[in-house]
Chains A and B, each alone.
Chain A
């Protein structure tokens, strides 16, 4: 089975722009979670989606949003980028939310200048 894929792998944006990141889960997995990873804060939970519904949302401002499509692929969007949004954005999938074992994608490295 192919693993979790994320696109793009690297992205450079400037302050004020917006960005959309994409995640394709492992085939058959219906739960997708997004995390932001920075050196100081570690892995911070952003959202979790299951069957196109957001089940959980982390403590991030409204500039961070996401969605899930009927094929379980997920996107996250960050609007009005700030320097502090520079981070590695990781997506993880599991077959159902109640199965805690999540499998991570390679991440998207976002740099905001």
Chain B
């Protein structure tokens, strides 16, 4: 069973729309929740959320962590075609275990 589950798997929106991407995770030894954007090759780091930092914002992108319900959302407002990418979330755990990635949400923004 997947430990990190992202939804939806894919999404098509028009420029200017606001989108919300979801990521649910497991609580065992939770340490961090990370978001990455992958356009062609290398995933690029967006945000890291922890118990001490549950909300992050950068320009049109923002993310929150709900520690009670065990999920995170990534919000993108006023979407642009350049936002088209696969968005990955990953959970970091304490206890010498590697990051666990979800399968990603493919976002397509059309003009």
What residues of chain A have their CB less than 8 Å away from a CB belonging to chain B? 3-4, 33, 35, 41-43, 45, 48, 55-56, 58, 88, 90, 97, 100-107
Contacts and interface: CB of A to CB of B under 8 A. Distances in A.
Contact of B48 (A43, A48, A100, A107): A100
B45 A42 contact: no
Contacts of A100: 31-32, 34, 48, 90, 92, 99
Contacts of A42: 88, 101-104
Nearest to A46: B98
Interface of B: 31-32, 34, 36, 41-45, 48, 88, 90, 92, 96-104
B contacts with A: majority SS: strand
Contacts of B104: 42-43
Given A100-B34, A100-B48, A101-B48, A45 B41 contact: no
Contacts, number: 53
A90 B101 contact: no
B43 to A, nearest CB: 5
A102 B99 contact: yes
A104 to B, nearest CB: 4
A43 B31 CA distance: 20
A63 to B, nearest CB: 20
A105 B97 contact: no
16 contacts: A41-B103, A42-B101, A42-B103, A43-B88, A55-B96, A88-B41, A90-B43, A100-B31, A100-B90, A100-B99, A101-B34, A102-B45, A104-B36, A104-B42, A105-B42, A106-B42
Contacts of B42: 3-4, 90, 104-107
Contacts of B44: 104
A4 B52 CA distance: 29
